[in-house]
Amino acid sequence: MTVQLKSVGIIFKHDFEPARMECQRLKEWFETMGVNVFTEEMASKALLSQCLEEETSIPESVDLVIVLGGDGTLLGAARKIGRYGLPILGINLGGLGFITEVPLKNLYKDIKKIIEGETLIFENRLMLEARVLRGDEEKCVFSVLNDVVINKAALARIIDLSVSINGTFLTTFKADGLIISSPTGSTGYNLSAGGPILYPNLEAFILTPICPFTLAHRPIILPDTSTIEITVGENSEEVTLTFDGQVGFDFMHKDRLIVSKSNKKLKLIKSPSQDYFQILRTKLKWGESSYGNGN
């Protein structure tokens, strides 16, 4: 697919001066070529009493969105502009960079390829839609790229989480929490909690308990046609729901969390210089010996 650049959006990491400076430099570079530029600083994390779709100053009409930061910045951008279906180029100014694949040193080289009409490779990444119902009232709705997590407060007891799949009861997890992850998010909190890595363009969810009381409770992979419904037990206390680890919501007894596949997908531009397995080898340090040089 080729993209003709008449206008671009640039979203950069919150309160990070190198990202701000690079945004200004890139904006001026685009403007010398007659490309209209819209910029936005990513907001900080928030704990909300009522979650609403996040607003953005980036118009729906731009041809491309460039994200300057780390994976966290791209996750925030996905919630803001994923609904537009715009192609996103993630530039890694952060640490791990599983989804911000392109290193800063390749930024201008790769954008020149776009301007010159080189065919780009996109991946359509599945997003999750999470809704919280309190009685008949919808208190919260979000589309997320990585995961939806239910967590107990630091000093709270183990919580009971009753889970149904497509209206059929699965089990009640007694655990510190529960992760509902997309394939993109499988290398995040899910991986730390012992869940599997899924190839990022698969159409599936992962349900992963956090420190389950019963060892038989293991992660389960579900098809993307599944609708997951979760309620918290009445004896559970101080339970928080988080979206992509960035937006929080107080999850109460009798609230119902419903997670399904979003009708939005993130259109992510793939790095031309490395594939997903190379990213895994690099970021997870596969193949590196932990025993020194063997002497």
> Which CATH number do you get for residue 255?
2.60.200.30
Q: Concatenated DSSP letters for the chain?
A: -----SEEEEEE-TT-HHHHHHHHHHHHHHHTTT-EEEEEEPPPPEEESSB-PPP-SS-TT-SEEEEEE-HHHHHHHHHHHGGGT-EEEEEE-SS--SS--EEGGGHHHHHHHHHTTPPPPEEEEEEEEEEEEETTEEEEEEEESSEEEEEE-TTPPPEEEEEEETTEEEEEEEESEEEEE-SGGGGTHHHHTTPPP--TT--EEEEEEES-SSTT---EEEETT--EEEEE-TT--SEEEEETTTEEEEE-TT-EEEEEEEEEEEEEEPPTT--HHHHHHHHTTTT--SSTT--
113 and 229 assigned to the same domain: no
Q: Within the chain, what is the greatest distance between any pair of CA atoms?
A: 66
In a domain, 183, yes or no: yes
pLDDT classification of 279: cutoffs 50, 70, 90: confident
138 and 194 assigned to the same domain: yes
Please indicate whether residue 110 or residue 273 has the higher confidence score (pLDDT): 110
C-alpha span between 176 and 190 (Å, rounded): 14
Output the pLDDT for position 235.
Answer: 75
58 and 140 assigned to the same domain: no
Which domain range does residue 105 map to? 7-121+270-283
Which tokens hold the place of 137?
Answer: 């009232």
| Average pLDDT score over residue span 238-245 | 89
Mean pLDDT of the chain: 86
Place of tokens 């997890």: 173
51 and 152 assigned to the same domain: no
| Average pLDDT score over residue span 154-177 | 91
Give, in order, the Cα–Cα distances in Å from 165 to each of 162, 180, 188, 226, 259: 10, 12, 23, 6, 10
162 and 253 assigned to the same domain: yes
In a domain, 51, yes or no: yes
Active site residues: 71
- Number of domains the chain contains: 2
158 and 211 assigned to the same domain: yes
C-alpha span between 136 and 127 (Å, rounded): 25
131 and 255 assigned to the same domain: yes
In a domain, 168, yes or no: yes
| Average pLDDT score over residue span 47-75 | 79
Burial of 161 from C-beta contacts in 10 A (0-12 / 13-18 / 19+): buried
In a domain, 2, yes or no: no
pLDDT classification of 295: cutoffs 50, 70, 90: very low
In a domain, 206, yes or no: yes
189 and 80 assigned to the same domain: no
Task: Provide the whole-model pTM.
Answer: 0.85
117 and 22 assigned to the same domain: yes
94 and 156 assigned to the same domain: no
- Cβ distance 184 to 148 under 8 Å? no
